Structures are given as structure tokens and as C-alpha cells.
Structure 1
Amino acid sequence: MTGTTSDVDRDQLLALAERVAREAAAEVLRLRREGVEVAATKTSPTDVVTEVDHRSEELIRARLLEERPGDGFVGEEGESSDSSTGVTWVVDPIDGTVNFLYGIPQYAVSIAARAGEQVVAGVVLDVVKGECFTATRGGGAFLDGAPIRVRPVVPLDQRLVITGFSYERSTRVAQAQAVARLLGEVRDVRRLGSAALDLCYVGAGRTDAYVEEGLHEWDLAAGGLVAEEAGARVWQGTGVGGKRLVVAAPADGFADFAALVERVGLTG
């Protein structure tokens, strides 16, 4: 398989991703009920990973590669392998780990299939609510099988914006100062704690825009495809802390929101 997979191929990849995401989500819920402890930290003492993250990623990798043994794999918790088929799976086993750790019901399993350099299928499954966001490249975006679409564009001062903050203290402080300026220009700002779900919420019309610095490929792959296929533009640049900045908004209203992001100082 190459980076120019057919629609049939994309549907097959999506079906596999959804099936595996549902199994992983059920396992995450089961293990959450049994109790959870921090297994390690990543970029800072507040950037945690749990044993459940590891077990979810191991399950997802095993299931995907059992069915498609030549595919590549990139996982947040370090599992990786090269592809001989042109398809690579990009996985966040629990997006929103801090929410998961504290019992806040806003975290997801995110699985995307990348053909070459292009994400062609993606699933973001809300573990607690059970909502399943899906998309294929050129095939549209869906929530539990029903098509979704971005919100109609409204003036900037009526837009609800989702954001997030870095786990690195100095970057977080700079972001907070910029977001304080943003607050004076929009309806309000939310910080929900799962980038994958945040992007899907833009696609589902639950918010008007999203901006966050520090995302990795596994945070962005599936949710970004859902947002794009629902009518959003998803842009990547450099944030105030020097890391990847992601901005997502309905395509028709993207330019003025992106200009606002720059004006308040969220860009580098």
C-alpha cells in the first residue's frame, strides 16, 4: 500500500482503527476502576504517564499489527516501528492523561492511519462518554455515524475558543499572558485537557476555534483530520515557547482568528 490509498482502503483502515479504539477504551475504563498510579513523568514533573497509558498502547499496537503486520507504528509512550506497506499508525493511547489520573471525564483514545505523509483515516473515541469521532480523507467527518460540520462563522467577539497550556513552567506563563489578552477579544476561553477531543469539538461545531502550543503528531493526527473533514482549517506554526503551535477554526473564519492569535502574542 502506498500514500495514494483508495477510498476502499481508507474505509478498511478506519474500520480497524475504530474496532481497536473501542477495545482499548474498554480496557482503559476497566483499569481506571481498579485504580491508577503515575508510572513516570515526561517533559516536567506535571507531565505524567500512567501504567494504563502503557497497557493501552501495547494493546493497540498488538491488535493493529496482528491484522496488518507490515504497517509502521508511532505511539506516544515510545512504541515505534517502520512501515513496509506505506501505512503508519499514529496513536495516543490516552489523550488527556492528567484528566484520566484525576478522574475528570474528558480523555480519549486516538488512532490515525498515515499513508506516506498524509493522514487518511482517524478515530477519536471519548472513553467515558463513548462518543466516537471518525473521518477519512475526502470522506467527511462523523460523530457516532452522523455527519458533523463546523459552526457558522460569527464575529470574533462572539467566538468560544478552546486552548491548552504547556507543562513547562516558563512557556505556560508566557501562554497565560497571551491568553489573558485573548480573553478580551472573544466570547470566552475553555481549557478541557484533551487536544484530540478539542479538535473534534471544532469539527462538531461545539466551539468556534482552537489554539494550543506543544502538540505532538499523536495529539494532532486523528483529531486534526476530523476537524479538516468537517470544514475547518488546521494550521501549524511556532508558538511563543518555540514549539509547534496548532490553530484550528472554520475555514471561512480562519484568517481573522489566526491574525488575532498572532496579535495577542501566542505565536513565536
Structure 2
Amino acid sequence: MSTPIEIPIAEDGTLMRATLAAVRAAGDHMKHLFTPDRRQGNLKELVKAIHANDAESLGVMRAALLEARPSAGWAEDELESGELPAGEWWVTDPVEGNINHIHGMTEWCVTATLVKDNVPELTVVYLPLTGNTYTATRGGGAFLDGERIVPSAKPELDAALVGTGQARPGESTETFRRIGESVTAMLNAALVVRVSVPATLQLIHVAAGRMDVFWQFSAVRSGLVAGALLVQEAGGAVTDVNGRPWQLCSPNFLASAPALHSASVSVLSTIQ
């Protein structure tokens, strides 16, 4: 009996089509549940609404993704950091920017990324309210609605639009200190600094050249793997804030336009 030939992920159009269908179906379902009038009164209600949103989206997306790649595992906790066991894993954020969705704000999306041996290989990011879809495969480029995207060509940090944000509520006091110090440092070095969530919705702008730099002093994998692959495949730089190659076990993250990477490292690496 012959051994099946494994098609490289970058060339597996069937897998990309299945991933697109699953993510778009989940996103369209969440669009129907979205209203700008949503409000919650306290933390208990907020947490309940977040969990309910996740369950709704996963109820549409999870089975389809596992059917598309039966050999892949499923990373259960979207707030987890660090490396995964060897092999293939689906890393998803069923409502990336969930806090915005439940507050009636438009900055949210749905993401699914296939990670192999801790390297992002394929990703889909869908923005239901605009209908835009970002896709990338390792070695295959990055695209917005089928058109290739490239990062900014700005040569100097003093003209840059840069951004950061917290990865999740309840980060450590030290992480909050680093975030604050990094914002101050970039306010003195860049043109404009954005502080917002979620990370993916800043990283797609870096990949497409609308923003120039994004960094984060945290390592929640579901908020970074999709954007990391998009930025890399668009031609941007993805490292930690000290300029070392970024990995799932890295404690922090930096993505930038190519010409601004060195200056960004110079600013952010001073923050300990």
C-alpha cells in the first residue's frame, strides 16, 4: 500500500478554501449577533457575554476546521502563551476583539491559523463588518481579498504610525509598566502612537502598509500568530523587541516595516 503524498501547506488550495469557508461562516454568524447597542453592567456580565460569543463562533468553526485537517490538534485556551507540542495545531480566536464586539464597537474579527511544529503555516483573518479577508501561507505571500499586500516603505521612525496594546486583562504590574514606558518612548520617537485592542487588527495594518510598527509586551499566541504570518509574508520584519527571531516562547513581540525595524528595536530594547 503506497504512502499518501503530503501536499505542502502553501500549495494546498483545498485546505485554504476549507479554512476560508469555516472562518467566514463563523464571522457571518457573529455579525448577525452584533449590535452597536450591546451593553453589560458589570464584570460578571462581561465575562458571560465573552464566553457566549466564543461558544457561538466555535460552534460554527471548530468542526469544519478539524474536518479540513483531521491530523491537527486544537489549542483550547485562546489566552495561552508559549510553545505547543510537536505537530500541527489549529490556533483560533473565535472573536478576536471580543471585548469590542460586546461593547458594540466594530473592531473585531475571526481568525484561524494552522501552526506546524510551532511555526505558523496558514492563516485566515476575516472582518465580517467590512467583508475583508486576509490570507497568508508560509512561503506563499500575504493577500487582502486575493490581492497581494506589502508593508510600508517609510524610511524614518519620526514619520511612523505605530501601535501597541495589552494582550489580555489582568496582566502583571511589570507588564503594565513596560507598556506604559514603551508608549512614552515611542511618543518621543514616532509620529503617532495608537494603544488599542485587538493585536490582529493592528497587525493586518502593518502587513498592508497602513501602520508601520506594532509591538506587544506579552505572548498570547492566538493574538499574534495570524498577524505574524501576514507581516512576514508581506515582507515585513517579525522579531522580539530585542531583534531576535520571534518564536511562540518569546516573551514579547515586534512587527514592523523593513526599514523601521532597527530604529524600533533601538527604542523598545531599552525597556526592561
TM-score of the superposed pair, with normalisation by structure 2 = 0.81
Structure 1 residue runs of 4+, over 3 Å off? Answer: 1-4, 33-38, 45-48, 75-79
Determine which of 198, 201, 213 is the counterpart of 1:197. Answer: 201
* Aligned ranges 1:174-189 → 2 under 5 Å: 174-189=178-193
Residue identity matched to 2:237:
R
Q: Do residues 252 (structure 1) and 253 (structure 2) align? A: no
Q: Report the counterpart of residue 220 of structure 1 in structure 2.
A: 224
Residue identity matched to 1:251:
P
Contact preservation (8 Å) 1:141, 1:229: yes
Q: Report the counterpart of residue 10 of structure 2 in structure 1.
A: 7
Residue identity matched to 1:151:
S
**Residue deviations 1:207-243 (CA, integer Å, cap 9, x gap):** 11001122311111111101110111111369xxxx8
Residue identity matched to 1:229:
E
Residue identity matched to 2:170:
E
CA shift at 1:154, angstroms? Answer: 2.4
SS of the residue 1:32 aligns to: coil
Contact preservation (8 Å) 1:210, 1:248: yes
CA shift at 1:7, angstroms? Answer: 3.3
CA distance in 2, matches of 1:177, 1:65: 42
Q: Structure 1 61/233 Cα, relative in aligned 2: closer, same or farther at 3 Å?
A: same
CA shift at 1:155, angstroms? Answer: 1.1
Residue identity matched to 1:226:
L
Q: What are structure 1's unaligned runs of at least 5 residues?
A: none
CA shift at 1:48, angstroms? Answer: 7.9
Q: What are structure 2's unaligned runs of at least 5 residues?
A: 243-249
Q: Report the counterpart of residue 99 of structure 1 in structure 2.
A: 100
CA distance in 1, matches of 2:220, 2:7: 24
Contact preservation (8 Å) 1:200, 1:224: no
Contact preservation (8 Å) 1:113, 1:122: yes
Q: For this pair of structures, how many residues does the alignment match?
A: 254
Contact preservation (8 Å) 2:9, 2:121: no
CA shift at 1:2, angstroms? Answer: 10
Q: Report the counterpart of residue 245 of structure 2 in structure 1.
A: none
Q: Do residues 73 (structure 1) and 69 (structure 2) align? A: no
Q: Structure 1 115/12 Cα, relative in aligned 2: closer, same or farther at 3 Å?
A: farther
Residue identity matched to 1:217:
R
* Aligned ranges 1:11-160 → 2 under 5 Å: 11-33=13-35, 49-77=50-78, 86-160=87-161
Determine which of 223, 229, 233 is the counterpart of 1:229. Answer: 233
Higher percent of residues as strand: 1
SS of the residue 2:66 aligns to: helix
Question: 185-194 or 137-146: which moved more?
Answer: 185-194
CA shift at 1:46, angstroms? Answer: 8.7
CA distance in 2, matches of 1:218, 1:2: 30
CA distance in 1, matches of 2:7, 2:238: 21
CA shift at 1:77, angstroms? Answer: 4.8
